[in-house]
Structure 1
Amino acid sequence: MEAKEGDGAEGGAGGVVVQVREKKGPLRAAIPYMPFPVAVLCLFLNTFVPGLGTFVSAFTVLCGARTDLPDRHICCVFWLNIAAALIQILTAIVMVGWIMSIFWGMDMVILAISQGYKDQGIPHQL
């Protein structure tokens, strides 16, 4: 966490505004920013067949979907998404993969919503 000082960061009652930024690992940062309907489809697929939506989302990277790994080659990001899908499929037997798959799908939808706000020029914080 980092506290911002100056620039009007102090509240009216003498408080300090704290800004928190999430640090993503390579697998999580490889989740592509997709159009909203595609993200919802991937969430639906991940809910009923763990890893299938993640597998489909890997191909959106090859179609030009942006990720939080701009310095990595497209093929590397593609294979990171395939690896995430395989992890979800293989660990679905013990329910861990199924839960991970659903959360992965929810992250896809959240990223699609945040990208929609950025495309429209509307400031948005999740």
Structure 2
Amino acid sequence: MDPSPKDGESAAAAEPSRGGAAPSSGVVVQVREKKGPLRAAIPYMPFPVAVICLFLNTFVPGLGTFVSAFTVLCGARTDLPDRHMCCVFWLNIAAALIQILTAIVMVGWIMSIFWGMDMVILAKRRCRAAGGDLH
């Protein structure tokens, strides 16, 4: 009588592999990124606007994030659908201020560049979901 596998284990993982070959199991793993409120407040903008914000964030930390805050007021969506538009706007302003104030010690500058890269990635994802061109 074979012992049954524990919760979370697959039957293939419970069996020892034969001949050094890895067992072929049908386990599907899904990874879902958990975002904090500041990161989830990054708006889904049109691709050219996201590139401009990345450019601004690269040379003047926080400026592109500040500009992106106003796209929320213009109707850009975020990963915070349950929050009011003004709340998401102020979250983006707070992120811009954090980037500006910590740019002196390079942390804000690096954060600002990564924030801009996230804006471009989200814009690409938005464009792919719409089935359109990047421009």
Q: Name the TM tier (shorter chain).
A: 0.7 to 0.9
Structure 1 residues 39 and 6: CA distance shift in structure 2, 3 A: same
- Tell me: CA distance 1:10–1:77, structure 2 relative to 1, closer, same or farther (3 Å): farther
Query: Retained in 2: the 8 A contact 1:30–1:68?
Result: yes
Is there any run of 5+ residues in structure 2 with no aligned partner, and where? Answer: 1-5, 10-16, 124-134
TM-score norm. by structure 1 comes to 0.78
> How far apart are the structure 1 equivalents of 2:90 and 2:121?
22
Q: What is the aligned-residue identity percentage?
A: 93
RMSD: 4.4
In the superposition, the TM-score normalised over structure 2's length comes to 0.73
Task: Give the whole-Å Cα distance in 1 for the aligned partners of 2:19 and 2:114.
Answer: 35
Separation (CA, whole Å) in 2 of partners of 1:104 and 1:58: 12
Change (3 A) 1:77 1:19: same
Quote the residue 1:5 is aligned against.
7
Structure 2 distance, partners of 1:47, 1:93, is 14
Write the deviation string for residues 8-62 of structure 1: whole angstroms up to 9, x where unpaired: x999999412110000000000000000000000000000000000000000000
Name the count of aligned residue pairs: 109
Take 1:82 and 1:13, find their aligned partners in 2: how far apart are those partners?
A: 54
- The runs of at least 4 consecutive aligned structure 1 residues that moved more than 6 Å come to 4-7, 9-14
- Of structures 1 and 2, the larger Rg is shown by 2
Question: Structure 1 residues 45 and 19 mapped into 2: Cα distance closer, same or farther (>3 Å)?
Answer: same
2:78 maps to what in 1? Answer: 67
* Partners of 1:10 and 1:16 within 8 A in 2: no
Q: Give the match's secondary structure for 1:19.
A: coil
Structure 1 regions of 5+ residues with no counterpart?
A: 113-125
Distance 1:19 1:52, change over 3 A: same
Residues 78-113 of structure 1, C-alpha deviations (whole Å, 9 max, x = no match): 00000000000000000000000000000000000x
- Determine the C-alpha separation between the residues in 2 that align with 1:96 and 1:10: 51
